[in-house]
Amino acid sequence: MSDSCLQPLEMLYQWEARKPDTVYLRQSRGGEFVDYTWGEVAQRARKLATYLKALNYPQGSRIAIYSQNSPDWFVADFAIMMSGYVSVPLYPGQSPQSMAYVLKHSDSQLLFIGHADQPEAIEQAMAGMDLHRVGLLGGGLKCHTTLEEIVRTCEPLRGQPLRDMDTLYTLMYTSGTTGNPKGVMHHFENVSWAVTKMAADIKLNEASRFFSYLPLSHTAERVLVLLYSLYTGATVAFPESMETFGSDLQKIRPTFFFSVPRLWKKFKEAVEAKISPETIEAMLADPEKAEGFKQQIQQQLGLDAAGFIITGSAPTPMDVQEWYLKLGMPLRNGYGMTENCIHGCICLDDQVVPGTAGKPFSGCEVKIGENNEILFKSPAMMKGYYLNPEKTNEVLREDYYHTGDTGFIDDEGLLHVTGRLSEAFKTTKGKFVKPSNIEDIMAQVQCLGQMCAIGHGMEAPVLVAGLSETSADKSREDLASEIQAVLPELNARLAPHERIAQVYVVSEEWTIDNELLTPTMKMKRNSIVEKYQHAVESAESSLVVWE
């Protein structure tokens, strides 16, 4: 690792000294933004670090964070670093059983509790545990003290304490698509290296504006927003709630924005619910109106100033990427994972190619292994899974991280991700089917929203799908006709053994709460199959069937 890599605390101290009165964090509250300067954030973190050190936990003790995004989340993370402890983020949408597993597995000593939509979930998770609790912004549960009380009563920690680069910075638990979450061990060395390299590739500066709403417990949000803001000196704003999300986004007008495919689809559906796809195409085809129309849509979404937009965490349908590209908002596919500190691949060039994950970040090597598996190698790699050497040895082999994803690299050096090794299934025809391939093509059915192709042991694949927002006012008969009209052409793009025999329309949206999505908005395929396959196999033989 280069000696020029500074660790996160060094960056915080740098901004604290250089621009203490410049706004760093902005929290939406009651229709206005409450601002915190670099100096104020550092002082709050120093006072909290004094409190934590006074608890006399052994160095390296685990401190968990359970909260929606807020300035307090940043302060807690900085204070844990300063005091020599290890952070353990929990997902706000995690099930009580999963959170209890993480708290016990990590042997967490203290828990920061902020605002969450389901406070009863963390109460259930803590049942029977003797955890010291500190309240953050919006936390409504009983705690031993609060961050505000600590700020009022504690003296700030003096000096500029740093951690050895080879010490553990955080345990980032995976979202648990299957089985219990795994604790990914990231040290200061690999994290500092990864963020420094990414900052050199994605050239932002102190004038940049970030908007943080995806869980900071997710590696992508923590690296691309919390850590990246430290390495650029940028401003970070937080929405008050999902109800104010749209208006807060329009007020901030971020210059850098990261989100997941689910939001990009929601944005697209919301626009098309007001302006028909035919009208959009006509406006874009008119040279005199196209640029003004694009600007209008960008302003409505609050993204007219966003020069760098990233989509990731799950596959973004090709038609969605092409839609945004036409509107002058290229979605740059980012492809990385918790295990490599998301230091993977991205479309950095201005000419974004939909359907690809771009090229590797500086210092990252990607290659295709056996069974077309994507392999990564770089100093950003995790040290392993905490207390799980067997699983570590499965994925870290011969200096490469084996992702479990399949793909290929084209003649331009662009990576294409084609699916998961573990997700392929066989129909009675005896051939393997990649569900992601079906879903990417069927995403072009405008009236359908969430979708999952299933079919293990069945005669042919079936598409289990919900309806999009554009379908709210349409009858079942009209929707069925719309699906039947486009299905033959879309099926023709698939191999014969991949062609879907039926669309099974479900009535319930897949969410984190009903445990059909992970906390990072990925589909829990096994759970969806378990919920719907019996009903699908028992359904009538019509092309479109309603749950």
Domain-located, residue 512:
yes
The CATH number of the domain holding residue 354 is 3.40.50.12780
Q: Do 219 and 167 fall within a single domain?
A: yes
CA 28 to chain CA centroid, Å, is: 21
- Tell me the pLDDT band of 192, cut-offs 50, 70 and 90: very high
Q: Do 482 and 377 fall within a single domain?
A: no
Q: What pTM does this model have?
A: 0.87
Give the rounded percent of residues in the chain with a pLDDT score beyond 90. 79
Torsion of CA 171, 175, 176, 182, to 10 degrees: -10
DSSP state of 500: -
CA 257 to chain CA centroid, Å, is: 12
- Please state, in angstroms and rounded to a whole number, the distance separating the CA atoms of residues 388 and 392: 6
- Per-residue pLDDT tens for 505-518? 999 999 888 889 88
The predicted structure's pLDDT at residue 522 = 82
DSSP state of 9: H
Domain-located, residue 292:
yes
Q: Do 384 and 436 fall within a single domain?
A: no
The predicted structure's pLDDT at residue 176 = 66
Top pLDDT among 273 and 49 is at 49
Domain final position from 392, 421, 450: 421
Q: Do 482 and 397 fall within a single domain?
A: no
User: Sheet holding 359-360: strands in order across?
Assistant: 32-37, 23-29, 235-238, 209-211, 256-259, 308-311, 331-335, 345-346, 359-360
Q: Do 387 and 464 fall within a single domain?
A: no
Paired tokens of 409: 């690299």
CA 101 to each of CA 61, 236, 494: distance values in angstroms, whole numbers, following the listed order: 17, 31, 42
Q: Do 333 and 272 fall within a single domain?
A: yes
Q: Do 434 and 410 fall within a single domain?
A: no
Instruction: Give start and end residues of each alpha helix (H) in 224-260.
Output: 228-232, 245-252
- In terms of Cα–Cα distance, which of 173, 160, 162, 155 is closest to 65? 173
Domain-located, residue 248:
no
Domain-located, residue 242:
no
Q: Do 398 and 314 fall within a single domain?
A: yes
The predicted structure's pLDDT at residue 519 = 81
Domain final position from 400, 421, 442: 421
- Per-residue pLDDT tens for 202-261? 999 999 999 999 999 999 999 999 999 999 999 999 999 989 999 999 999 999 999 998
The CATH number of the domain holding residue 41 is 3.40.50.980
The CATH number of the domain holding residue 503 is 3.30.300.30
Domain-located, residue 244:
no
Domain final position from 421, 449, 480: 421
The predicted structure's pLDDT at residue 1 = 42
DSSP state of 117: S
- In terms of Cα–Cα distance, which of 141, 117, 22, 14 is closest to 69? 117
Q: Residue 508 is part of which domain span? A: 424-546
CA 363 to each of CA 107, 201, 376, 397: distance values in angstroms, whole numbers, following the listed order: 34, 11, 11, 19
- Per-residue pLDDT tens for 278-292? 999 999 999 999 999
Domain-located, residue 245:
no
Q: Do 410 and 434 fall within a single domain?
A: no
Domain-located, residue 3:
no
Cβ-based neighbours of 420, under 8 Å, separated by 6 or more: 404, 405, 406, 436
- Please state, in angstroms and rounded to a whole number, the distance separating the CA atoms of residues 211 and 223: 13
Number of domains in the chain: 3
SS3 460: coil
Give the strand pairing for 132-135 and 108-113. Answer: parallel
CB half-sphere exposure, 491, CA atoms < 13 A: 18
Query: Strand runs (DSSP E) across 114-248, as ranges?
Result: 132-135, 145-146, 168-173, 183-187, 209-211, 235-238
Q: Do 511 and 539 fall within a single domain?
A: yes
DSSP state of 317: P
Q: Do 417 and 433 fall within a single domain?
A: no
Q: Do 446 and 369 fall within a single domain?
A: no
- Tell me the pLDDT band of 75, cut-offs 50, 70 and 90: very high
Does residue 2 have a pLDDT over 80? no
- In terms of Cα–Cα distance, which of 538, 189, 223, 514 is closest to 361? 223
Domain-located, residue 239:
no
- Tell me the pLDDT band of 167, cut-offs 50, 70 and 90: very high
